[in-house]
Amino acid sequence: MKRNIKRLARSGVLPALCLLFVAVLARGQQPDRDADALLKAMRDEMARSTTQLKFNDLEKPYFIEYAVTEEESFGVSAAFGALVRSTHNRGRALKVQVRVGSYDLDNGDFISQSDFFSGGSFPTLLVIDDDYNALRHDLWLATDIAYKRALEQLSRKRAFVQNRVEDDEDKAPDFSREEAYAFIGPRQTIRFDQALWEKRAREWSNIFRQFPDIQQSSVSVTAHLVHKYLINSEGTVTRQPSVLVSVGVGATTQAIDGMRLSHFLPFYVTDLDQLPPPDEISRRVRQMAEDLTNLRIAPLLDTNYNGPVLLTGQASAEMFSQFLAPNLSGQRPPLAEQEQMRAAAAFSRSELAERLNQRVLPNFLSVFDDPKEQLKDGRTLIGAYDVDDQGVPARRVSLIEQGVLKNLLMSRRPRKGLLHSNGHGRSSLFGGASAQSGNLFIQASNGKSYEELKKQLMEMCRSQNLPWGILIKALNESGGGEGARGMTLSAPFLLYKVHVQDGREELIRGAAVSVSSIRALRDIAAAGNDAYILNRISSEAPSLLGSSIAPRSIIAPSVLIEEMDVKRSAASQQKPAIITHPYFNK
């Protein structure tokens, strides 16, 4: 396993997946699946394994799945006008899943001392050439290892289940039965003009030479072509191409008192051509640098606040991404052999899953997830896909209707009352698939304008005798699932006091925003008539091995929440820099 980590790390698959992705030109080619050596190798070895794989008198597999993630990625990064890295990598990662036992009780979703992947599999590197024999050889070895591990896991799991009092949760099967599905998307290619993007990255990063207060900055551009292959012993065969392009701009500074301030500005699209024009990106970079510079000298929050908070645009979508999205997952936590692992397993438990048919939002809000939507108002939704990572076709799922929870996002891990997948089993490079959102739409039935929302915020403050209210226009990205389960929002970037007297907006730094529980979302007082599209590549289901990549989109209106806690951030105060920036102190 260690060996595999090293191999992966070096092959570029890992860095490619972990980095932000970027721009690509992709055009369809050769739909002929027989010409695809990888697909043929997968099918042939699958056929052999399903019919012949059996160890002595032990059980045969009842389910086998091969998932191959093939990637070609380009990356360019620059700082202060000079190139820091320029890369091009190719890799193929294979995950083999073997299930023994039955749909009702199998080796899956069980964390034991010898297996932390709970039935998922650690990827191995496949050859990157289209060499049928070499591919089959790799598949053969990986299948053999997965099968033996599955047998061992099943015997451990059976022993564990026998000695344990069954609770209500256990009454669902381990794995759902789904219909076979065939989807062969076209093979695509990617063209990335390395020199052009190097030039642009230099130019964008050079903008920071105009901002003396920014201590550190970087710009990265990545383009990522992925072909996901998935076949299983039930007859599902899928090949799904996708492209992810990103431009990411990060900058940090320190306030006079030493407080570290940072922001990351991402652009995600699914085709190079969809990126905003270079000048527009330059403008946004400049804006971000200005915002960060202004934040440096903004006053600190002087007193703790409890009261209404208006979240607009990005801040609102980010709030829904952090508070609501993870709780719409119907993923049942895995069983865990040991006490310590049990807590980790339960970490991914939804706060809402037990409240089906109850009110969880105000009646003017409805929520659905639709991975089949490619665009919203002409803009790319990166959470779109045709087939999920378990070979189940993507489906629109109505989750919350007029405030009432109606359904959950489901993978092939059933839960009581929800016995089937609805095409939301999404996977990370490590570990197995879990139920996660694709394109999550939050919609308001009687949306208000920004002015109306602000007016309502001020009225609410007035009635509570508050001299000012809180307005948040931007939040920092949560660090890949970190804090996603907590009820504290990621650090605000643009947070303002709105003075009740005159409506003045005063930028404030160093605030931490939280709610007491998910119930706070029931007390959303009003929503906007806008729809902000937030694209994210962090997973919302933190795996035991850290965050994972699952591109997703959240589309949300601005919201006015009745009650939030806003406190002085507990973040450790750094000392201001002693040495000065050489460029600005010549």
Overall residue count recorded for the chain in this entry? 586
Q: How many CB atoms lie within 10 A of CB 554?
A: 27
Per-residue mark of binding to other proteins, 14-53 (x: CB under 8 A):
------------------------------xx--xx--xx
Nearest distance, CB of residue 325 and other proteins, angstroms: 29
| Minimum CB distance to other proteins smaller for 12 or for 551 | 12
**Could you say whether residue 372 binds other proteins (CB under 8 A)?**
no
Of 142-150, 314-322, 358-366, 374-382, the segment contacting other proteins by CB under 8 A is 142-150
Q: How far is CA 62 from CA 50, 119, 564, in A?
A: 8, 14, 50
H or E element at residue 2: helix 2-11
Using CB under 8 A as the binding rule, whether residue 90 contacts other proteins is answered as: yes
Give ∠ CA 146-148-154 in degrees, rounded to 5. 95
| Amino acid code (one letter) for 59 | E
CA distance 226 to 91: 10
**Shortest distance in whole angstroms from residue 226 CB to other proteins:** 17
Mark 192-221 with x for binding to other proteins (rule: CB under 8 A) and - for no binding: -----------------x-----xx-----
User: Does 398 contact other proteins by CB under 8 A?
Assistant: no
Residue with tokens 């879990």: 434
Q: How far is CA 305 from the centre of its chain?
A: 31
Does the footprint of other proteins cover residue 514 (CB under 8 A)?
Answer: no
Nearest-approach distance from CB 10 to other proteins, in angstroms: 7
Shortest gap between Cβ of 216 and other proteins (angstroms)?
6
Question: Of the candidates 18, 25, 84, 344, which one interacts with other proteins according to CB under 8 A?
Answer: 84
- Single residue of 28, 31, 35, 54 touching other proteins by CB under 8 A: 54
Q: Does 325 bind other proteins (CB under 8 A)?
A: no
How many CA atoms lie within 13 Å of 316's alpha carbon, on the beta-carbon side? 30
The one among 19, 46, 79, 409 contacting other proteins by CB under 8 A: 79
CB of 173 to other proteins, least distance (A): 27
Smallest separation (angstroms) from other proteins to the CB of 507: 25
CA angle 225, 227, 230 (to 5 degrees): 160
Based on the shown chain and the rule CB under 8 A, indicate whether residue 125 belongs to the binding site for other proteins.
yes
Helix (H) or strand (E) holding 553: strand 549-556
Q: Which stretch binds other proteins (CB under 8 A): 135-143, 323-331, 464-472, 498-506?
A: 135-143
Tell me, by CB under 8 A, how many residues bind other proteins: 60
Q: Distance between CA atoms of 409 and 154, rounded to whole angstroms? A: 27
Q: Can you say how many angstroms the Cα of residue 41 is from the centroid of all Cα atoms in its chain?
A: 31
**Helix, coil or strand: residue 219:** strand
Using the rule CB under 8 A, give the single segment among 132-140, 271-279, 378-386, 461-469 that binds other proteins. 132-140
Site for other proteins contains 575 (CB under 8 A): yes
- Closer CB to other proteins, 20 or 508, in the complex: 20
β-strand partners of 196: none
Provide, for the chain, the percentages of residues in helix, strand and coil under a 3-state DSSP scheme, each rounded to the nearest 5. Answer: 25, 35, 40
Q: Is 296 in the site for other proteins (CB under 8 A)?
A: no
Long-range pairs for 570-579 at CB < 8 Å and ≥24 separation?
570/512, 571/259, 571/260, 571/491, 571/510, 571/512, 573/257, 573/258, 573/259, 574/254, 574/258, 574/259, 574/260, 575/258, 576/254, 576/255, 576/256, 576/257, 576/258, 577/215, 577/254
Cα torsion angle, 130, 131, 135, 136, sign: positive
* Sole window of 84-92, 174-182, 290-298, 524-532 interacting with other proteins (rule: CB under 8 A): 84-92
Applying CB under 8 A, the span of 73-81, 166-174, 220-228, 380-388 interacting with other proteins comes to: 73-81
Q: How far is the CB of 583 from other proteins (least distance, A)?
A: 5
According to the binding rule CB under 8 A, does residue 137 interact with other proteins? yes
Q: Smallest gap, in angstroms, from Cβ of residue 506 to other proteins?
A: 30
Q: Do the bridges between strand 505-508 and strand 492-499 make them parallel or antiparallel, or are there none, so unpaired?
A: antiparallel
Contacting other proteins (CB under 8 A), which of 62, 140, 183, 264? 140
Q: Between 137 and 284, name the residue whose CB sits nearer to other proteins.
A: 137
Is residue 9 within the footprint of other proteins (CB under 8 A)? Answer: yes
- CB nearer to other proteins: pick between 419 and 577: 577
| 417 phi-psi bin (left φ>0, alpha ψ -120 to 50, beta other) | left
Of 142, 470, 490, 523, nearest in space to 310 by CA: 470
- If one asks whether residue 583 binds other proteins (CB under 8 A), the answer comes out as yes
Q: Which is nearer to other proteins, 208 or 532 (CB)?
A: 208
Give yes or no for residue 581 binding other proteins (CB under 8 A). Answer: yes
Q: Which is nearer to other proteins, 141 or 343 (CB)?
A: 141
Long-range contacts formed by 32-35: CB under 8 A, 24+ apart: 33/184, 33/237, 33/239
Q: Does residue number 128 form part of the binding site for other proteins (CB under 8 A)?
A: yes
Pick the closer one to other proteins by CB: 185 or 212. 212
Site for other proteins in 433-452 (CB under 8 A): none
165 — phi, psi (to 5°)?
A: -75, 125
Q: Give the footprint of other proteins on this chain (CB under 8 A).
A: 2-3, 5-7, 9-12, 44-45, 48-49, 52-55, 78-87, 89-91, 125-129, 131, 133-141, 144-145, 147-148, 209, 215-216, 575, 577-583
